[in-house]
Amino acid sequence: MAESFAVKLEEKRYLPDPQCRTNAWVPDYSQAYGEFMRDPEGFWENVARELVWFEPWDRVREWNYPYAKWFVNGKLNITASCLDRHVAAGRKEKPAIVWHGESGEKRILTYEALQREVMRFANGLKSLGVGKGDRVCIYMPLVPEQIVAMLACARIGAVHSVVFGGFGPDALAMRINDAGAKVLVTADVGYRRGKTVPLREIANEAIRHTPSVERVVVLRRESPGAGLDPAREVDYAALTGEAAPDCPPEVMDSEDPLFILYTSGSTGAPKGIVHTCGGYMVGTYYTARHDFDIKETDVFWCTADPGWITGHSYIVYGPLAVGTTVVIAEGTPDYPDPGAYWRLVQDLGVTIFYTAPTAIRMFMRYGDEWPAKYDLSTLRVLGSVGEPLNPEAFEWYYRTIGGERCPIVDTWWQTETGMHMITTMVGEPMKPGFAGKPIPGAVVDVVDRTGKPVPPGTGGFLVIREPWPAMLRTVHGNDERYCAYWKTIPGCYTTGDLAVKDEDGYIMVLGRADDLIVVAGHNIGTAEVESALVSHDAVAEAAVIGKPDPLKGNVIKAFVTLRVGVSPGDGLTDDLARHVRKSLGPVAVPAEIEFMDRLPKTRSGKIMRRVLKARELGMDPGDISTLEE
């Protein structure tokens, strides 16, 4: 990309009701940010003190560039803060999880019930030989047991690796193998648009190639239940039914790993981002409570799946550490009709609603009549995450869903950051198109290639200057890839995003600088899709680009060259799409496939995706001096 470039900034502002500000946990952003900057360690220490520790830390932070430790030598178990402390402090009967199924079923787990389920499943895992440090892969639909499984791992110090239920067998197998998971937890099926997703079947296909997996726990939802293979499979209900009810939390060090979560890299295989116990707990707790301004009576609904970082941090760990009521809903936003989400907001009295721009744009397309049918007056705060929230979508969300009453917190962060880094705190003036300012606790900047800040109105690289508690600690099995985050621009963590600041310090995120494609809020690596395409018999080579799309943000376009003797005849496009779907899942399927005689390449043989992209979008391809011919 160009060294720096001018960006025209729209200057519209929305001022929320002054009451929002008066009542907020952070009534004065500037003051809170100032307090943090004067004493960053003291700031985080005060947050950490609100949570449960078995032994206190010696030092708040140890920064040995590019490696950070937080709450050094502190001992904890994140489930003691997410469960035990609430059960002990009068939230026993409070709903922790309210689950809603596609056909209207509802299940409520109070904090006490959730704690009980977690302890039972934790003991069940122990009986399968899972212990501290072992990896457990969780491949489940959006049901309470998915969350129970995550917390049960945390309870006994096992490291979970959750794989989103929309991924196919190859994507699942790759992630299991990279993590070396010993146990896989899955379900017979998920439900989506009135149909079943055969998770157990996909899991069985995957584990033919995963030697590390010893046992598979299967949650059976269908009746009659599928027959299980007694040599390998264990019934979830039987396992928990036989397990002892009490499971004291394993004592974990602050820096022990809590989970691995895979995110697509621009080149090579997906990266297993490693998060640890102490800092992650403190960072997600603080941001959940303060950025969403969660109060005791709130009902919090984050529409993500726990298979993504948004679900880890803002369905499971952050909101439960706060002690709020968390809504989860299996299925899609427009099934059985486009009013499904708004009906749920009304019926459950949701007060804080957190979703992605792609969903907001989809609702916009269905029209105002759907939300108009329901009473959305319980809503108090709206959130957005995953991609830039374009001004049109902001305004629609603000007016039609928020009734011009609710502040919108557009939260910028990444799998790697673990927690929000930029937003507009509740009560602050909002600017459509801008995520906002660094949260108190984060030091964020927009810089040129050398790390020098660029002036307001000039685009540059979005970086983070100081370590933060919930930051990734490494890439599983690949420290070099971890170090690359901190070495691309000297001294800073490089986010890979382009951004611009305005005169007031508001940050507008412009998108990815590298080859990642964000499709409907899901981060897809070009390399993974290309390699799936190339694994098809007919395909010689493939190059994949993101193409702006009004609904999904981006869609995938694939350029494919065929093997000699193969012609793009009957049904090949469909066949390739099916092939990618089967291997990587529906999120990675190209919207368009174009057959080419050859792909543009550099002399060293690297495919030049930006040339394809420029051609596709009718733009100047820029410097093509490295082009093969």
Nearest to 354 by CA among 373, 332, 326: 326
509 binds ligand WT7 (CB under 6 A): yes
Angle at 289 between CA 340 and CA 316, to 5 degrees: 55
List CB contacts of 224: < 8 A, sequence separation 6 or more.
Answer: none
- Select 152 or 315, whichever has its Cβ closest to ligand WT7: 315
Q: Is 526 in the site for ligand WT7 (CB under 6 A)?
A: no
Buried b (16+ CB within 10 A) or exposed e, 192-204: beeeebebbebbb
Distance CA(144)–CA(157), nearest Å, equals 20
# residues near ligand WT7 by CB under 6 A:
21
Please report, as residue ranges, which positions from 397 to 416 form the binding site for ligand WT7 (by CB under 6 A): 410-415
Find, among 272, 371, 381, the residue nearest to 324 by Cα: 381
Least distance from C-beta 495 to ligand WT7, angstroms? 5
Tell whether residue 84 is a contact of ligand WT7 (CB under 6 A).
no
What is the DSSP code (8-state) at residue 313?
A: I
Residue 358 binds ligand WT7, judged by CB under 6 A: no
Q: Judged by CB under 6 A, does residue 388 bind ligand WT7? A: yes
SS (HEC) of 441-510: CCCEEEECCCCCECCCCEEEEEEECCCCCCCCCEECCCHHHHHHHHHCCCCCEEEEEEEEECCCCCEEEE
What is the radius of gyration, based on Cα positions, of the chain? 24
| Closer Cβ to ligand WT7, 26 or 462, answer by number | 462
Q: How far is the CB of 374 from ligand WT7 (least distance, A)?
A: 26
Q: Retrieve residue 499's tokens.
A: 């951004």
Q: Please identify, among the stretches 150-158, 386-394, 440-448, 615-623, the one whose residues bind ligand WT7 according to the rule CB under 6 A.
A: 386-394
Cβ–Cβ under 8 Å, residues 608 and 627: yes
Choosing from 199, 258, 385, 532, the residue that interacts with ligand WT7 (CB under 6 A) is 385
Q: Which of 52, 122, 162, 435 binds ligand WT7 (CB under 6 A)?
A: 435
Torsion of CA 230, 233, 238, 242, to 10 degrees: 90
Q: Which stretch binds ligand WT7 (CB under 6 A): 30-38, 295-303, 360-368, 382-390?
A: 382-390
* Minimum distance of ligand WT7 from residue 179's CB (angstroms): 18
Residue 498 Cβ vs ligand WT7, minimum distance, rounded to whole Å: 9
- Do strands 106-110 and 95-100 pair parallel, antiparallel, or not at all (unpaired)? antiparallel
Which pair of tokens denotes residue 502?
Answer: 């305005």
Query: For residues 79 and 310, which CB has a smaller minimum distance to ligand WT7 in the complex?
Result: 310
Residue 307 CB, nearest approach to ligand WT7 (Å) = 11
The binding track of 567-596 with respect to ligand WT7, each residue x by CB under 6 A or -, is ------------------------------
Indicate the residue among 305 and 497 with the shorter CB distance to ligand WT7.
497
Task: Return the residue of 233, 291, 387, 445 that touches ligand WT7, per CB under 6 A.
Answer: 387
Output 385 or 539, the one with its CB closest to ligand WT7: 385
User: Which pair of structure tokens corresponds to residue 446?
Assistant: 């927009």
- What separation in angstroms does the CA of 115 have from each of 81, 147, 254, 382? 11, 11, 22, 29
Asked whether position 497 contacts ligand WT7 by CB under 6 A, the answer is yes
Least CB distance to ligand WT7 at residue 558 (A): 21
Report the C-alpha gap between 458 and 499 in whole angstroms. 9
Helix residue spans in 224-350 (DSSP H): 236-242, 277-291, 309-311, 318-322, 340-348
* Nearest distance in Å: CB 309, ligand WT7: 5
Q: How far is the CB of 580 from ligand WT7 (least distance, A)?
A: 19
Nearest 5°: the CA angle 415, 517, 143 is 50
CB of 264 to ligand WT7, least distance (A): 8
Cβ atoms of 97 and 147 within 8 Å: the answer is yes
Looking at residues 260 to 299 of the shown chain, list those that interact with ligand WT7 (rule: CB under 6 A): 263
Rounded to the nearest whole angstrom, what is the least distance from the CB of residue 423 to ligand WT7 in the complex?
A: 8
> Taking CB under 6 A as the criterion, which residues in 466-495 touch ligand WT7?
495
Residue partners of 627: CB distance under 8 A and separation at least 6: 600, 601, 602, 608, 611
Assess 303 for contact with ligand WT7 (CB under 6 A).
no
Which of 113, 274, 518, 589 touches ligand WT7 (CB under 6 A)? 518
Chain residues in the site for ligand WT7 (CB under 6 A): 263, 309-310, 385-388, 410-415, 435, 495-497, 509, 512, 518, 523
